[in-house]
Amino acid sequence: MSMALKQVFNKDRTFRPKRKFEPGTQRFELHKKAQASLNAGLDLKQAVQLPHGEDLNDWVAVHVVDFFNRINLIYGTISDSCTDQTCPVMSGGPKYEYRWQDEHKYKRPTALSAPKYMSLLMDWIEVQINNENIFPTNVGTPFPKCFMQVAKKILSRLFRVFVHVYIHHFDRVTQMGAEAHVNTCYKHFYYFVTEFNLTDHKELEPLKEMTARMCH
């Protein structure tokens, strides 16, 4: 990563601490394998494929955490221009509005400003990935039956961050010289979720035209 990008993606600007994998665990080895493929400049479409003999749940868990960290970082870089005033509604252009719903305070889909939505989203994801009953870290501990369902929900909601950033804040991304980095991260995410059918096609609609240009 160039110095300029290092300054753009400054750790202090992220929302929250990164979730890391413990060295020596299967998940850490898989994470290293995934990173090595990316660093080797392997075609992203190939890089997302499940390595021979590896468990799909493990592969998905590693990527969910990695995408959470990266997308967090991307949003952190533009968060100073995404305020309750500039983005009073969490949306992706005039046709798409995203409402927040959870098991606690917001039992019904509720319209919120983009920064409020993002904050709740990142907190919610952090709780999921730190929950040993959903994302077990010990080798040999089986994944729960609901794991894939939770992973899909996390990835679908993370996709909305891309939608908001691309449609409402891409000028800022370009201004900071981070366009290539964000585009690569998006392509990696898109190839991964489509390879394993982890996001509903309806969710992908808002960026359909851009994706057709970038990923095909």
**Can you read off the two tokens belonging to residue 34?**
């995934």
- Return the number of other C-beta atoms located less than 10 Å from residue 175's C-beta: 12
112, 120 in Cβ contact below 8 A?
yes
What SS3 class is residue 121?
helix
Query: What are the residue boundaries of the structural domains of the chain, listed by start?
Result: 26-215
Check residues 35 and 83 and name the one with the higher pLDDT.
Answer: 83
Q: Which residues are annotated as a binding site for Zn(2+)?
A: 82, 87, 164, 169
CA–CA gap between residue 148 and residue 134 (Å, rounded): 9
Binding site per annotation, positions: 82, 87, 164, 169
What pLDDT shows up at residue 29?
63
Q: Is the confidence at residue 32, as pLDDT, over 80?
A: no
* One-character DSSP codes across 176-216: TT-HHHHHHHHHHHHHHHHHTT-S-HHHHGGGHHHHHHHH-
Percent of the residues in the chain that have a pLDDT greater than 70, as a whole number? 81
* CB-facing half-sphere around the CA of 135: CA atoms within 13 A: 21
pLDDT higher than 80, residue 62: yes
Decide: 61 and 1 in contact? Cβ < 8 Å: no
- Looking at domain 26-215, its CATH superfamily turns out to be MOB kinase activator (1.20.140.30)
Q: Residue 153: is it exposed, middle or buried by C-beta count within 10 angstroms (0-12/13-18/19+)?
A: middle
In tens, the pLDDT along 80-135 reads 999 999 999 999 989 999 999 998 899 999 999 999 999 999 999 999 999 999 99
Say what angle helices 56-78 and 147-168 make with each other, to 10 degrees: 30
From 8-17, 146-155, 161-170, 175-184, the region with the lowest mean pLDDT: 8-17
